[in-house]
Amino acid sequence: MRVLILSATTGGGHMRAANALKSYIQSQNPRSAVLISDTIQYVSPILNKAVTEGYVYLATKTPKLFGYVYRTADKDTPINKTVEIATTTVRNKLKPLIDDFKPDIIVTTHPFSAEIFTALKTRNAENCNIPIINIVTDFAVHQTYINDGVDAYIVSSHEMVNQMVERGVERVKLYPYGIPVKQEFYKDIDRRTAFESEGMNPDMRTILIMAGSFGVTDILKIYHKIVKSHEEFQIIVITGKNEKLYDTFDRYLSKITLNNALVDIEKSSRPKSITKLSRHRKPAKPTKLLYYTDEVEKYMHMADMIVTKPGGLTVSESVASVLPMGIFKAIPGQEEQNADFLVRNNMAVRLEKDNTCTKIVTDLISHPEKLENMKKSIKEFSRGNSSENIYILMKELLKKYHNEEAIDRTEKI
């Protein structure tokens, strides 16, 4: 099977979903050819720079404006027309990639990628008669994901199925399989062994903090509020590749360990981890600080709760790990809608920078039954192994486009 996955680098989630699906396909059929293309970069580096830098600037510097643009683009407005003009202008530049790779099927994990290919497909129907699956990488519907020529939409819930039907999408094209994540997120671990290998207490409740992509101040404020809780627990902070956030936490934890009784310091250079276990004169929380790790799934399985921004992929990884969420600083737009969905379905709570944050975290940690109820809600919501279901769907779509012999042939590629 030859699979072309069209994605984009606006935010990290779209590419993470693409890579998770690629990994699964190749694990099932090592001889399959799977190519991930940063579509916008491929068709126009200038457009890609404008889109990616514009996204980061609006989301971090002017979130209210970002929310306005997001909501406006969800309607039949000049913004939508501008997107259509842009994708129509660059669509033919995607044709060489299609001709060279000759995919049997195309999967998209970004709305612009879907728009570009479907614009090409509808214009060159004879030469681009290729099935396309569009993965919606959030927990709410947006008009930019809906395009003529899409054969199947992967969405996160039955609620989204109904929302897309209301927008005119045929129900037969909608599959509530969820967003693809690495297979490791579905697998249980030996938690005690994991804690001991990290030099942490396996019998203490653990909160994981992840939100390295954007910002510093808000995460530190949340951390300061959390450690004021009178309940005993330990914290794991993963800053990702946000050097400013890592350095700020590093300086802060170093100051604590100098001003208070030092329990343990284990230092190593990036991209490994720093562990600083500190004891305040007032509420103290042992804290493990990591700059970057490719074992996020391990830390999610170790944690009792995650504090994070509600990006589609981080949320999906938390769901696969059956990990209750504390949501903070949701960007107006898709993150705000994600947060609303999660809270509404008892999979997350909202955390603010004020003192209610301390109260909410304390309440959850001191009442394990509440965390268990959230885990139960996550299990009830979980769609199972998304990549596996998408892989089966891909083969079914190929059967519709070709005969059975063609399927057998592609399976042997």
pLDDT, tens only, 276-291: 444 433 336 899 998 8
Q: What are the structure tokens assigned to 398, written together?
A: 């190929």
Mean local confidence (pLDDT), 92-103? 90
* Three-state secondary structure call for residue 243: helix
- Calpha distance 35→38 (Å, rounded): 10
pLDDT band (50, 70, 90) for residue 350:
very high
Show me where the domains of the chain are located: 2-178+384-408, 184-381
pLDDT band (50, 70, 90) for residue 407:
very low
State pLDDT tens for residues 9-47: 876 789 999 999 999 999 999 999 999 999 888 888 887
- Calpha distance 405→337 (Å, rounded): 44
Using CA atoms, how far residue 80 sits from 66, 135, 221, 410, in Å, is: 15, 20, 37, 38
The pLDDT of residue 250: 85
* All residues at 6 or more sequence positions from 240 whose CB lies less than 8 Å from its CB, including other chains: 210, 212, 213, 291, 292
- Calpha distance 73→271 (Å, rounded): 38
Task: Name the residue with tokens 């100098």.
Answer: 258
Instruction: Name the pTM for this structure.
Output: 0.84
- For domain 2-178+384-408, give the CATH number: 3.40.50.2000
Helical ranges in 34-190 per DSSP H: 39-43, 45-61, 63-73, 78-90, 95-101, 111-123, 158-166
Residues 90/116, Cβ–Cβ less than 8 Å: yes
Q: What are the structure tokens assigned to 97, written together?
A: 């990639």
Percent of the chain exceeding pLDDT 70 equals 83
Residues 331/349, Cβ–Cβ less than 8 Å: no
State pLDDT tens for residues 299-339: 999 999 999 989 889 999 999 999 999 998 888 888 899 99
- Please say if the pLDDT value at position 126 is more than 50: yes
Residues 312/13, Cβ–Cβ less than 8 Å: yes
Angle in degrees, 0-180, between the axes of helices 312-320 and 368-381, rounded to the nearest 10? 100
The pLDDT of residue 74: 77
For residue 403, the tally of other CB atoms under 10 A from its CB is: 10
pLDDT band (50, 70, 90) for residue 264:
very low
Residue bearing the bigger pLDDT, 59 or 160: 160
- Calpha distance 272→278 (Å, rounded): 19
- Please say if the pLDDT value at position 61 is more than 50: yes
Q: Tell me, which fold does domain 184-381 have in CATH?
A: Rossmann fold (3.40.50)
Mean local confidence (pLDDT), 132-160? 91
The pLDDT of residue 35: 96
State pLDDT tens for residues 149-196: 899 999 999 999 999 999 999 999 999 999 999 999 999 999 999 999
The pLDDT of residue 333: 84
- Calpha distance 208→325 (Å, rounded): 10
Mean local confidence (pLDDT), 206-224? 79
* Three-state secondary structure call for residue 262: strand
Percent of the chain exceeding pLDDT 90 equals 48
The pLDDT of residue 79: 57
DSSP-derived letter for residue 124 is S
2-178+384-408 and 184-381 agree in CATH topology: yes
Instruction: Tell me how long the chain is.
Output: 413
What is the pLDDT of the chain when averaged over all its residues?
83
Give the 3-state DSSP-derived string for 311-353, with helices as H, strands as E and coil as C.
CHHHHHHHHHCCCCEEECCCCCCHHHHHHHHHHHCCCEEECCC
- Please say if the pLDDT value at position 50 is more than 50: yes
